[in-house]
Amino acid sequence: MRRHRKLSQEQLANLIEIDRRSVHRYETAQRDPALSMLLRMADALDVPVSLLVSGSLELDLRNAHRDARPTL
**Chain-centroid distance, C-alpha 61:** 13
Closest CA to 33 of 5, 6, 13: 13
**Structure-derived torsion over alpha carbons of residues 7, 36, 63, 52, reported in degrees to the nearest 10:** 70
> pLDDT tens for residues 16-50?
999 999 999 999 999 999 999 999 999 999 999 99
Domains and CATH numbers, the chain: 9-68 (1.10.260)
> pLDDT tens for residues 41-56?
999 999 999 988 886 5
Which pLDDT band, with edges at 50, 70 and 90, does 59 fall under? very low
Residue 1: what pLDDT? Answer: 83
What are the distances in angstroms from CA 62 to CA 3, 40, 48?
Answer: 16, 20, 12
